[in-house]
């Protein structure tokens, strides 16, 4: 196909076309239609004197190309040829040679692989055979620049409609001698060699040839016969009509293709006027027909038939041109709107950039989201990927100024930031976990054992299934810190959020995206922050969930904490299922009874009762004191807190189950110590009490500094001036230091050469030496109250001796266990005045227990002392001390009965005895809760004997040995056993 150099060159050639066309080109008496069409261009085009030859036929073309390509570079021609073209007429543009072309009957055979060469057309070919190329050069030098150009036949068995490949061209170059001769078409073209540049040879066709025989093989030389067109009548109407149709068709094609107009212009410049044979050759040469169809036109010597063949080709070319135009129009209509939109957007961006109003680029946003998603794309669930792709497509269609754009952008930000399928590598090393738990916490054997069981199961399975563990216990026992230690032992990320007082379901399940300021729930925020899909999530204060107008958060937690449902947890904001089944949930609560039952059913409860005194001592010494001392910047050698001080702190100030209050008191101690140290450092005074000798030394040091200053001011009158100053200002001290003045004078004279900066440095060194001389501050029971104030608690035993009607019970509170005295006293007596008055801010359950106790006590007294009418005729007052504290619970029943019987029989109970248990109307003892807390409270009150229901034996046996140490425990089933233990009867209770 023709390759056009440039649009500007084509325009210049078209402008020159009208001037070059001959004026005498006609068919008989009528002017040629093609000339009239081309002549219409004369009015709009100016003459261009610069003429340059073009290549019209290229060997790279094939039958599938619609037009013939032009060579990109102009073909060089001889100076003689160029001058001859300028001087010659348009009707004979080809240079005549001597001898004439028809005299050549033996020529070199040049194979054309793609298209035949028509008379009047240029064609560049590449000659790879060096011998053939040398022969062509030699022929041109001998003034015989002619060769035969023959189209090469296709190999047998190949499809001529397929475009040839590079391997086919290589095979053509390998053909030699007879093999090449057999592959050449019989009819070819006598070609003039216009120029040779390297291996490129430019040919121009003159007349048709027919192969007769081969003369030599290398290079291939053949004998040829020159062919002439068959005679025809140029006035024949059929031939005229056919030629007119060819011209009309060419005119229509010329309207749509500037390339074809360039063909016409250049042809007329170098060939001359059109006639019927040339018209047929011209139409076939510039058409996009395949090489076989073009060869058929070349071989046809009958002018009429050749015109008919050409008409078919140009008609086909016209149809191709129409199809091309329709395709171009359809594509243009399709993309014109998008192009306009794109151009306007680009202009808008440029304007915004100039004004400083440029917003986020949607393309950059999409690229950022895709880049963020790429690491986990293979692990991301398909339904999530589909939603992300839909939202990314939606983002591209939205305007950046619309509110929906920001909603979609935030939504994609959350979707792509979640760790889809990204799990952290867990550590199932039980020994390492044990070491970590022991390092962070002292005691808590039950909790540690349960965590190690969880890790062991995960190691055997190879994967850890998310569980929901609830740590219940009083404040300050370390529930939150235990969760953090579990995460460290398992090598999981840790995230904590508190739900205390939470009253909005959207905090758990997220908001709908339609709301302003919508955000995902806490679980989605957790996954984004930790970056893994299997963190440890601590849900703090789950027993303090609120319930407001925005729904019930406790019910919203059911889906999150249900192992059967949380594999498809649905957040309202994301609106895609999220797998949180691998998350380990740890909840904390102070009172399990406050957790809703459906939620409690999904959790595994691990109770942390609290710490006994011994455990608190270890925690304070090994954990709290060390961390507090480092936080205050105090060195260990500066302070010593004795064990007696810590014990006094625990028993008299911090009796709660946890150690948070203990930590506060230790921090209070160290803060006061830090203040003391700073004050001593500022005054530069030793820590001990200053005596007379110390005062003398202090005065001498002060006077030394004064002497140095006075020496600078008064020079040689140093001693007299100081004495005068001492006599006037400090006469009481002057008598004590006169004997030391000479030594001071010598020291001052040595220091006289020291500048002020050295004096400052000396003072600093003296301060450091003084700080090293501080005595270690000792914290003991004697000065503990100076740091933390008066004791808050006294001995829980209010009564040193057992009194009638007073019995010690054991109670459980949210702060741990405590002792609870129950007092019963006599108000008045009279026949039929038996009654019971209750005080102590008791709850409904405890009031009912008092009524039951009164009934059971009357029955037991009637059994033991039938003649004693005490309960029938006496009004009693039962009080539980600490009236400001609300109290409730059924486990005080047996204590109330014992208190009433003690008053009725006027017998005190045994000393160092405490009891707990719920009583029925028949005297049966029912189990109670808080065994460990009550046991710790009993030890704190120096109780030696405990009475527990038999149903709680296993709970007591599971306690550690240091908790049970020194206690005598009796387990009872009926109150008669308690009666014998309390009042000294037969002790048949089981120990």
345, with CB counted inside 10 A (0-12, 13-18, 19+), is exposed
858: left (phi over 0), alpha (psi -120 to 50) or beta: alpha
- Residue 872 has a pLDDT of 87
- The Cα 986–Cα 411 span in angstroms is 77
Residue 378 corresponds to which tokens in the numbers above?
């293979």
- Residue 513 has a pLDDT of 86
Contacts of 915 (CB under 8 A, 6+ apart): 807, 808, 809, 810, 894, 895, 898, 946, 947, 978, 982
Provide the pairing of β-strand 584-589 with 925-926.
unpaired
- The Cα 610–Cα 615 span in angstroms is 9
Looking from the CA of 55 toward its CB, the CA atoms found within 13 Å total 28
**Cis geometry, peptide bond prior to residue 219 (ω within 30 degrees of 0):** yes
User: Is 757 annotated as belonging to a binding site?
Assistant: no
The DSSP result for 403-443, as a single string, is: HHHHHHHHHHHHHHHS-TT--PPP---HHHHHHHHHHH-SS
User: Is 55 annotated as belonging to a binding site?
Assistant: no
How far from chain centre, in Å, is Cα 890? 55
- Residue 774 has a pLDDT of 55
Contacts of 161 (CB under 8 A, 6+ apart): 63, 64, 290
Nearest CA to 38 out of 68, 17, 13, 52 is that of 17
Contacts of 359 (CB under 8 A, 6+ apart): 352, 400, 401
Instruction: List, in sequence order, every residue forming a beta bridge with 203; answer none if it has no partner.
Output: 123, 193
Domains contained in the chain, CATH given: 1-98 (no CATH), 103-158+166-228 (2.30.130.40), 237-328 (1.20.58), 362-417 (no CATH), 430-607 (3.40.50.300), 806-983 (3.30.230.10)
CA distances from 304 to 230, 242, 276, 313, 317 (A): 10, 8, 8, 14, 20
Cα torsion through 560, 561, 566, 571, rounded to 10: 0
- Residue 274 has a pLDDT of 66
The DSSP result for 937-961, as a single string, is: HHHHTT--EEEEEGGGHHHHHTS-H
Length of the chain: 991
Instruction: List, in sequence order, every residue forming a beta bridge with 195; answer none if it has no partner.
Output: 202
- Rounded to a whole number of angstroms, the CA Rg of the chain reads 57
- Residue 14 has a pLDDT of 35
Residue 629 corresponds to which tokens in the numbers above?
């001392």
Of the listed 485, 891, 899, 902, which one is catalytic?
Answer: 891
Active-site annotation holds for 976: no
User: Is 473 annotated as belonging to a binding site?
Assistant: yes
354, with CB counted inside 10 A (0-12, 13-18, 19+), is exposed
Query: pTM score, two decimals?
Result: 0.52
Active-site annotation holds for 308: no
User: Is 480 annotated as belonging to a binding site?
Assistant: yes
Nearest CA to 477 out of 293, 630, 659, 235 is that of 659
Contacts of 278 (CB under 8 A, 6+ apart): 119, 120, 271
Residue appearing with tokens 């009158």:
717
User: Is 478 annotated as belonging to a binding site?
Assistant: yes
Provide the pairing of β-strand 968-972 with 945-949.
parallel
- The Cα 590–Cα 605 span in angstroms is 12
Q: What kind and span of H or E run contains 494?
A: strand 494-498
User: Is 477 annotated as belonging to a binding site?
Assistant: yes
- Beta carbons of 342 and 396 less than 8 angstroms apart: no
- Beta carbons of 639 and 779 less than 8 angstroms apart: yes
Quote the DSSP letter at residue 620: I
By three-state DSSP, how is residue 220 classified?
A: coil
- Residue 134 has a pLDDT of 84
Of the listed 20, 308, 616, 934, which one is catalytic?
Answer: 934
By three-state DSSP, how is residue 497 classified?
A: strand
Residues of the chain short of pLDDT 50, as ranges, are: 1-97, 165-167, 682-700, 702-773, 986-988
User: Is 474 annotated as belonging to a binding site?
Assistant: yes
- Residue 846 has a pLDDT of 92
Alpha-helical (H) ranges within 202-256 are: 237-256
């Amino acid at each position: 196909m023709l390759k056009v150099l440039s649009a500007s060159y084509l325009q210049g050639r078209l402008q020159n076309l009208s001037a070059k066309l001959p004026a005498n080109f006609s068919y008989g008496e009528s002017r040629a239609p093609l000339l009239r069409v081309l002549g219409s261009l004369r009015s709009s085009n100016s003459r261009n004197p610069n003429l340059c030859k073009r290549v019209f036929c290229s060997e790279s073309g094939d039958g599938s190309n619609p037009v013939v390509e032009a060579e990109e570079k102009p073909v060089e021609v001889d100076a003689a040829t160029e001058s001859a073209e300028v001087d010659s007429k348009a009707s004979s543009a080809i240079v005549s040679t001597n001898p004439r072309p028809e005299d050549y009957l033996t020529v070199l055979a040049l194979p054309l692989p793609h298209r035949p060469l028509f008379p009047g057309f240029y064609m560049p070919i590449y000659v790879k055979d060096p011998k053939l190329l040398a022969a062509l050069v030699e022929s041109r030098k001998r003034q015989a620049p002619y060769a035969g150009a023959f189209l090469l036949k296709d190999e047998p068995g190949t499809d001529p409609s397929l475009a040839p490949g590079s391997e086919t061209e290589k095979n053509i170059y390998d053909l030699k001698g007879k093999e090449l001769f057999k592959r050449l078409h019989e009819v070819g073209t006598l070609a003039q060699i216009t120029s040779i540049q390297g291996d490129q040879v430019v040919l121009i066709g003159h007349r048709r040839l027919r192969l007769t025989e081969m003369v030599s093989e290398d290079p291939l030389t053949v004998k040829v016969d020159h062919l002439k067109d068959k005679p025809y009548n140029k006035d024949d109407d059929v031939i005229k009509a056919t030629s007119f149709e060819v011209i009309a068709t060419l005119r229509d094609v010329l309207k749509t293709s500037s390339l074809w107009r360039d063909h016409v212009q250049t042809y007329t410049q170098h060939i001359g006027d059109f006639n019927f044979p040339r018209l047929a050759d011209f139409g076939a040469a510039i058409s996009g027909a395949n090489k076989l169809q073009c060869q058929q036109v070349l071989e046809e010597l009958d002018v009429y038939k050749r015109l008919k063949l050409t008409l078919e080709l140009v008609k086909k070319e016209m149809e191709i041109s129409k199809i091309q135009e329709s395709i171009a129009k359809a594509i243009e209509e399709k993309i014109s709107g998008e192009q306009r939109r794109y151009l306007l957007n680009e202009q808008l961006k440029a304007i915004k950039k100039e004004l400083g109003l440029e917003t986020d680029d949607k393309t950059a946003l999409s690229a950022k989201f895709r880049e963020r998603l790429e690491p986990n794309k293979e692990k991301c669930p398909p339904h999530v990927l589909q939603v992300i792709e839909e939202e990314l497509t939606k983002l591209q269609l939205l305007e950046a100024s619309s509110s929906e754009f920001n909603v979609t952008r935030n939504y994609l930000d959350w979707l792509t930031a979640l760790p889809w399928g990204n799990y952290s590598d867990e550590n199932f090393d039980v020994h390492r976990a044990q070491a970590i738990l022991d390092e962070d916490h002292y005691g808590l054997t039950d909790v540690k054992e349960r965590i190690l069981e969880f890790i062991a199961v995960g190691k055997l399975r190879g994967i850890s299934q998310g569980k929901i563990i609830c740590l219940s216990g009083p404040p300050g026992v370390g529930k939150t810190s235990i969760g953090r230690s579990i995460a460290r032992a398992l090598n999981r990320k840790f995230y904590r959020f508190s739900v205390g007082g939470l009253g909005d379901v959207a905090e758990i399940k997220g908001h709908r995206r339609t709301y302003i300021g919508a955000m995902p729930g806490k679980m989605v925020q957790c996954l984004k922050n930790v970056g893994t899909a299997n963190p440890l999530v601590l849900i703090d204060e789950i027993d303090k969930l609120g319930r407001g107008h925005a729904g019930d958060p406790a019910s919203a937690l059911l889906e999150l904490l249900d192992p059967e449902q949380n594999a498809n947890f649905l957040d309202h904001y994301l609106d895609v299922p999220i797998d949180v089944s691998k998350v380990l949930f740890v909840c904390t609560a102070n009172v399990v009874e406050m957790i809703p039952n459906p939620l409690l059913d999904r959790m595994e409860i691990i109770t942390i009762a609290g710490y006994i005194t011994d455990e608190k001592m270890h925690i304070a010494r090994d954990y709290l004191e060390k961390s507090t001392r480092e936080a205050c910047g105090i060195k260990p050698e500066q302070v010593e807190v004795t064990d007696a001080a810590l014990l006094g702190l625990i028993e008299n100030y911090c009796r709660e189950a946890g150690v948070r209050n203990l930590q506060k008191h230790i921090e209070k101690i160290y803060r006061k110590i830090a203040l003391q140290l700073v004050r001593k450092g500022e005054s530069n005074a030793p820590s001990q009490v200053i005596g007379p000798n110390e005062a003398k030394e202090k005065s001498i040091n002060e006077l030394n500094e004064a002497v140095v200053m006075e020496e600078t001011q008064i020079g040689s009158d140093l001693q007299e001036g100081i004495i005068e100053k001492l006599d006037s200002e400090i006469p009481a001290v002057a008598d004590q230091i006169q004997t030391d003045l000479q030594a001071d004078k010598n020291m001052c004279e040595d220091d006289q050469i020291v500048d002020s900066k050295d004096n400052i440095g000396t003072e600093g060194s003296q301060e450091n030496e003084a700080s090293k001389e501080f005595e270690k501050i000792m914290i003991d029971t004697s000065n503990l109250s100076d740091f933390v104030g008066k004791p808050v608690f006294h001995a829980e035993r209010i009564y040193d001796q057992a009194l009638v009607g007073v019995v010690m019970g054991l109670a459980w509170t949210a702060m741990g266990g405590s002792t609870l005295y129950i007092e019963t006293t006599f108000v008045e007596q009279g026949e039929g005045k038996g009654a019971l008055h209750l005080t102590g801010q008791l709850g409904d359950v405890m009031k009912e227990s008092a009524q039951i106790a009164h009934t059971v006590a009357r029955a037991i007294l009637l059994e033991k002392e039938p003649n004693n009418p005490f309960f029938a005729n006496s009004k009693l007052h039962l009080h539980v001390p600490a009236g400001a504290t609300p109290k409730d619970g059924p486990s005080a029943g047996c204590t109330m009965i014992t208190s009433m019987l003690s008053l009725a029989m006027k017998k005190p109970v045994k000393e160092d005895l405490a009891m707990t248990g719920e009583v029925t109307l028949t005297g049966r003892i029912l189990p109670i809760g808080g065994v460990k807390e009550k046991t710790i409270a009993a030890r704190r009150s120096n109780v030696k004997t405990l009475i527990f229901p038999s149903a709680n034996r296993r709970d007591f046996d599971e306690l550690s040995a240091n908790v049970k140490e020194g206690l005598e425990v009796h387990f009872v089933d009926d109150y008669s056993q308690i009666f014998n233990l309390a009042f000294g009867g037969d002790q048949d209770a089981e120990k």
